[in-house]
Amino acid sequence: MMNAMSRSATRHQPLSDAAVDLVAARFRILGEPIRIRILQELQGGERNVSDLVEAVRSTQPNVSKHLRILQETGFVGRRQEGNSVFYSIADPTVFTLCDVVCRSAAQRMARDAKLATELRRR
């Protein structure tokens, strides 16, 4: 009974429709593999588009498009120095989210591997 009470004590209020839409939009932004690669590269520090193009093995127009989307959502910031534009992480909490997803995926894979091992033994 105490366990049920402690769960209800930490239950969050339902989000408004607008808030649900905003959260879903942020998850959709992270649903594109090249954006995850770009964020991983920027985790090491500020980079320009040319560096990112080479690092993520894509084209300049494609990387620029995804950087614009990441910037519009506030995950990435940019600064201009002369003719060069440098990008950096503006919202480091994105990595907390990625860490949670990675841990969850690893746990699921470990469970699946354990089950596969058990099935092979039969």
Q: Could you report the per-residue pLDDT of 23-79, keeping only the tens digit for each?
A: 899 899 999 999 999 999 999 999 999 999 999 999 999 999 999 999 999 999 999
Domain limits of the chain? 18-91, 92-122
Q: Helix 33-43 crosses helix 60-72 at what angle (to 10 degrees)? A: 80
Please state whether 64 falls in left (phi above 0), alpha (psi between -120 and 50) or beta.
alpha
Distance between CA atoms of residues 91 and 76, nearest Å: 7
Q: What is the dihedral of CA 53, 72, 26, 89, to 10 degrees?
A: 60
Within 13 Å of residue 46, how many CA atoms lie on the same side as its CB? 9
Residue among 82, 83, 91, 78 nearest 46 (CA): 78
Q: What pLDDT, on the 0 to 100 scale, is given for residue 73? A: 92
The CATH label, of 1.10.10.10, 3.10.180.10, 2.30.110.10, 3.50.50.60, for the domain at 18-91 is 1.10.10.10
- Please report which confidence band the pLDDT of residue 9 belongs to, taking 50, 70 and 90 as the band edges: low
pTM comes to: 0.76
